[in-house]
Structure 1
Amino acid sequence: MSSALFVVGVAVAAFVGINIGGSSTGVAFGPATGSGVVSMRTASALMALFVLLGGFTVGTNVVRTLGSGFVPAEYFTLGASIGVLLFIGLAILLGNVLKVSTSTSQTAVAAVVGMGAALGVLNWETVGVVVLWWLLSTILAFWLCAFVGRYLYDAVVDALDLESRNSRLAEFVVVGIGCYMAFSAGASNVANAVAPLVGSGQLGMLPGVAVGGLAIGVGAFALGHRTMETVGEDITDLSLEASLIAESIAASILTGLSWAGIPASLAVVLTACIIGLGWGRASRQIPLRAIARPEGLTAAERETQAADRLKLFDPRVTKRIVSTWIATPTVAGAVAFAAFEAAERLHLLT
């Protein structure tokens, strides 16, 4: 019976990994495919390769945090691990169905937090530290890119002049940054698929990372094209330079957080970069003193800003993405809490 349950656990972990692959591929290679640099099939193959690399080199830090930092490892029984993973997978699947890259790490953390809260064993200090870094990283990503978009974007474009100097070089740089993003995705997101099983001792660290990484690779091929379309085409009309800026900043933030063992969201950070870059570019024609003055913008200034903004990113798509960011972790956490609360009352966990 226990061996059959173990097979179920690995299958559910693979299910979660496949959905993570579908979600994360969009934010890793959406800008590259949206700007026509690589095909979606090539992007999926690169995603699979660099996710494994990121998982094996940096991702173990995040696995430890998610597998034992929020809830003591002994509470991750095989049945509990399967339950948590199932809640994570279903919530991420919701985002993939809606063609939106969900906040996979936030969804995974919410499910684990829901379990810990229901059992009364949650480490609130870890929750506070992780949530604080989520807020700081998102704010940092937005304002760094907004600053670059408003003050430095034209200078960067003129200095690089990638398309006219050497289109091959331009493509290589953008694909390289996409691979860096995939590496960051592996470092951060492999834990979301296997941390409960690794924390409970059902899987070793390296076999667990291998299972999660391979499943994410499968998801990149099976589902990644859906979210690549949304990120690469619907939010903003990205140039090669814009892709390079947004992905470089996002990948650097994600890699730093993963080294520290913080489970952070690739979807949230990169999309915040894209929105911040678009907002910064859209505000170039309006002086800061006009934005800050008490009476606000004039009718002509509002019209100019709105026209420019609509050329750079679609506010309707942005609202749909932010809504999904909020909905998926909330669903995962609430369902996990209710399920484990009921199981505790019915003495099913003993």
Structure 2
Amino acid sequence: MVSVLLVIGALVAAFVGFNIGGSTTGPAFGPAVGANAISKPAAAALMTVFFFIGAWTIGRRVVTTLGSDLVSDPGVFTLSTSIGVLFFIGVALFVGNVFGVPASTSMTAVGSIAGLGFANDALDWAVMGGIVTWWIVAPVIGFWVSLVIGRYFYPRLNRLIAIERSDGPLVELDRSGVLPIPRANATTNRREMAGVATVILIGCLMAFSSGTSNIANAIAPLVGSGALEMNPAIVLGGVAVGVGTFTIARRTLETMGSDITELPLTAAIVVATVSASLVVFLSAIGIPASFVVIATVSIIGLGWGRATRPIAVTDVVRGEETPDVDVSVGALAADDVDEEPPAIGESEPEQIPSAADLFDPATTARVVLMQNVVPLIATIGAYLTFRFLPIF
């Protein structure tokens, strides 16, 4: 007979999975959605499928090791303490999702487990120190790489890729036959299709990477305590994540795709490539990947770099060109900046968006604040609970 405590544990794990879907879909597919390369329902479907694939394959290894790496005594994971850890993970992630800010699932989960280990004098400080070090270094790398690309290489990349979204859908259904067949829109060119396919594939890679690490955040305590077997736990977590991607993830998709900075398709490809590369690297060396933070900081770095990039300005005086002068103008971060000055007698180009239009400091501050506050809530809450409540 299934115990009431196990049912509660499964429900709390599902609640965590629900919030994982809400918080991780934005960083994975926000750039693609912001560039109008894919719809929100399509992004949710792809996130669900590739998350589950990652969880079912590599993710089970993370589930097995998470409880033993951070905590020196696996015996602290009882069914009741596992429910407590999952509760703090779920509540903290829910707070972030309510504010429309995708919080780091790995940071929140590790913080909750660290609170449990610290309260029971069973925290492995060496492992914790290594994880925290990479959590600091990786976003800094992502920020500066994206900033340098946006400031110095973005115009060249944009001309090379030359991907501009055409009006209307990328594909249309040809219903002339017995079965509808998807065909490219008449206004869609090959380079556009290639760019769209690239940014979607990178999003799928990030979804897969999320599954390999984040499934453990939802089910590892229950599996480690022996309350649930591995395969049923992965199915439970995968279904819960899918529900989150189709519901609460809509807000984080908007935040990551449009509220922080405008993302043309070229920019979306840059952000996704930088973020996915860092996440794969961290996963390869066994560090829980906080790709939410990496993707967010990469978007900020690219937006900042584009808004302050140096360009060469040629003055036209009486038909003669003066030497180029390097300046930095935030308004020239837009993709449609004219490369050549207007000829004498022609009208001036239309008003170009300012740096504030491309890089929203208020939204950025809210994102950075919440992504630090949410894991802190989980860590402190778990420590105080497991330290002073006798029921645990």
- Compute the TM-score of the two structures, normalised by the length of structure 2: 0.80
User: Offset of 1:206 from its aligned partner?
Assistant: 3.3
1:339 correspondence with 2:371: no
Q: Which moved more, 1:96-105 or 1:309-318?
A: 309-318
Amino acid at match of 1:333: T
**Which residue does the alignment assign to 1:292?**
none
> Cα RMSD between the aligned structures?
2.1
Identity of matched residues, %: 46
What SS class does the counterpart of residue 202 from structure 1 fall into?
A: coil
The structure whose residues are more often helix, as a share, is 1
Amino acid at match of 1:7: V
**Which residue does the alignment assign to 1:166?**
191
User: Offset of 1:64 from its aligned partner?
Assistant: 3.5
Question: Which has the bigger relative contact order, CA under 8 A and spacing at least 6?
Answer: 1
**Which residue does the alignment assign to 1:32?**
32
User: Offset of 1:156 from its aligned partner?
Assistant: 1.3
Q: Which has the larger radius of gyration?
A: 2
1:309 and 1:195 mapped to 2: Cα distance?
A: 44
> Structure 1 residues 302, 244: CA separation in 2 closer, same or farther (over 3 Å shift)?
closer
Contact map agreement 1:76 1:199 (CA 8 A) in 2: yes
The structure whose residues are more often strand, as a share, is 2
**Which residue does the alignment assign to 1:205?**
230
Contact map agreement 2:310 2:329 (CA 8 A) in 1: no
1:221 correspondence with 2:267: no
**Which residue does the alignment assign to 1:148?**
149
Amino acid at match of 1:79: S
What SS class does the counterpart of residue 252 from structure 1 fall into?
A: helix
Contact map agreement 2:23 2:252 (CA 8 A) in 1: yes
Deviations 1:289-336 (A, max 9, x none): xxxxxxxxxxx9688799853232211100000110111111111111
Which stretches in structure 1 are left out of the alignment for 5+ residues? 288-299
User: Offset of 1:2 from its aligned partner?
Assistant: 6.7
Q: Which moved more, 1:44-53 or 1:144-153?
A: 144-153
Amino acid at match of 1:37: A
User: Offset of 1:224 from its aligned partner?
Assistant: 1.0
Contact map agreement 2:142 2:274 (CA 8 A) in 1: yes
Deviations 1:225-252 (A, max 9, x none): 1110111110111011111111111112
What SS class does the counterpart of residue 111 from structure 1 fall into?
A: helix
**Which residue does the alignment assign to 2:349?**
none
**Which residue does the alignment assign to 1:272?**
297
What SS class does the counterpart of residue 192 from structure 1 fall into?
A: helix
What SS class does the counterpart of residue 84 from structure 2 fall into?
A: helix
What pairs with 1:118-267 in structure 2 (closer than 5 Å)? Answer: 118-163=119-164, 165-267=190-292
Q: Which moved more, 1:88-97 or 1:181-190?
A: 181-190
2:265 and 2:104 mapped to 1: Cα distance?
A: 25
Count of residues paired in the alignment: 334
1:210 and 1:131 mapped to 2: Cα distance?
A: 30
**Which residue does the alignment assign to 2:110?**
109
**Which residue does the alignment assign to 1:295?**
none
**Which residue does the alignment assign to 2:60?**
60
- Compute the TM-score of the two structures, normalised by the length of structure 1: 0.90
1:265 and 1:207 mapped to 2: Cα distance?
A: 25
Which stretches in structure 2 are left out of the alignment for 5+ residues? 165-188, 313-326, 334-352
What SS class does the counterpart of residue 123 from structure 2 fall into?
A: coil
1:281 correspondence with 2:282: no
Contact map agreement 2:70 2:127 (CA 8 A) in 1: yes
